[in-house]
Every structure is written in C-alpha cells, then in structure tokens.
Amino acid sequence: MSEPTFVSLPNYREYSVAETQQRAQEFLAEVRRRRTVREYSSRPVSRDVLERCLEAATTAPSGANMQPWHFVVVGDPELKRRIREAAEAEEYEFYHHRAPQEWLDALAPLGTDEHKPYLEEAPFLIAVFVQRYGTLPDGRKIKHYYATESVGIATGILITALHHCGLVTLTHTPNPMGFLNTILGRPKSERAFVLLVVGYPHPDARVPDIGRYEIGEKVEYR
C-alpha cells in the first residue's frame, strides 16, 4: 500500500462577499438558460472548443480518483449514419413494443418518437462510456468504485461547459445502447452511459413548453 502524499491546495480562490453573491447570481442566470435541444443546425463546431469542454469534464471528482470514463467524439458522417440506424432500430422497438404505457405517457410532453435525424444532422455526437474496471499496465484488472456516479458528474460538467460556450446538447439514451460498443469498438468492460448530441440549434429549433419545479419543492434547509 502506498503512503499518501499531500500538496497545498493549488490555485484556490476566495471571493469577497459581494463578489461571491454576484458569481452565484450570474452562474444561475447562465445555467437557467440551458435547454435540451432536438433540432440541430449542420453548422460545424470548433474541435478545439470540444476539446476544452471534454478536458473540463475530466476534472470531475471520481470514486478513488479512478476517472472511470471514456469519451468517443464522433464527427464522421458514416459513423453517425450507422449510429442513427442502430439507435432508430432500438427506439422503434421501444416506442412500439417495449415501453410500458406509463413511460410513454411520461414522455408525451416531450413529443419524442423513434425518429432521430439529429444523430446525423448535428456535427458531433459524444458517446460517454463507464469503465466498470480498469486495466493495469501488467494486465491485471482494477475495480472502479462509484463508476456510474462519477461518469454522471463528469457528464454534468460536460453539458454545462458546452452550454457555457453557446452550444446545445441532447442527453440521448437509446435503450439498450450496446450497439455503441460494437460500432465504436469499445471493450466489454465499458458500458455506454449516454450519447450526447452536440451542436448549434437549428435556426427554427423549438423546445417543449415544459418548466422546472419550484426550488422549494426540491431543496430544503434544516
């Protein structure tokens, strides 16, 4: 077992009370504007910006610092076409056979169906994988703790970073997502967590007229 070593907290910043309040307000105003978008412009997205946002995502805290994520950025039209084809096949089954009525009722306000043109129209898809375990240089397996939670946190940072850059996303979870391992050549030790659609909104993009709960219904202080 290796002994822990410590360094002093690097780059920590404290703000004045007024600045703290302003930052909290501004951040809230910024994230409040985020909406999930299903209609994309074919306008390209700077690869450089994606790289910075992905790097931001990989700063997420993770169980035992295992960093149990893997991101595959897909911009190749042929790969996007294959992903769309596979996703639409699964989604057809979902909407027509697998989904219980209760689930379909819950989705009704979103107006979704098995057609997923955005998987080809958006400039990039980011397939996010959970690494259930890692492999040491000598080939031994190493367990990842809280892998799903960690990848969820990283994905949240990614979505927020992309929004911060004026990009829009869709958190797409075709069900099941095993086809992503096949198409993208990822090992069985990884499970697809989400397929993030990334781009600029179509000029005529519309979003469902749905709202958020009042904060008091979701947060309490004791």
3-state SS, residue 55: helix
Q: Can residue 112 be called a binding residue for ligand IYR (CB under 6 A)? A: yes
- Which listed residue (40, 91, 125, 196) binds ligand IYR by CB under 6 A? 91
Measure the CA–CA gap between 65 and 134, rounded to whole angstroms: 12
Q: How far is the C-alpha of 208 from the C-alpha of 67, rounded, in Å? A: 34
Contact 198, 124 (CB under 8 A): yes
Rounded least distance, CB 107 to ligand IYR, Å? 5
H or E segment and range at residue 143: strand 141-143
Given candidates 24, 31, 89, 107, which one binds ligand IYR under the rule CB under 6 A?
107
CB count within 10 Å of CB 184 equals: 18
* Span of 9-17, 76-84, 104-112, 194-202 interacting with ligand IYR by CB under 6 A: 104-112
Contact call for residue 104 and ligand IYR (CB under 6 A): no
Q: Residue 205, SS3?
A: coil
Site for ligand IYR in 60-79 (CB under 6 A): none
196 binds ligand IYR (CB under 6 A): no
Minimum CB–partner distance for residue 173 and ligand IYR (Å) = 5
Shortest Cβ 125–ligand IYR spacing (Å): 13
Which of residues 87 and 154 has its CB atom nearest to ligand IYR in the complex?
Answer: 87
Give the footprint of ligand IYR on residues 151-190 (CB under 6 A).
172-175
| Binding residue for ligand IYR, selected from 89, 110, 156, 178, defined by CB under 6 A | 110
Residue 104 · residue 189 · CB < 8 Å: no
Rounded Cα–Cα distance for residues 30 and 28 (Å): 5
Among the listed residues 178, 173, 7, 176, the one whose alpha carbon sits nearest the alpha carbon of residue 93:
176
Footprint of ligand IYR (CB under 6 A) = 91, 94, 107, 110, 112, 172-175
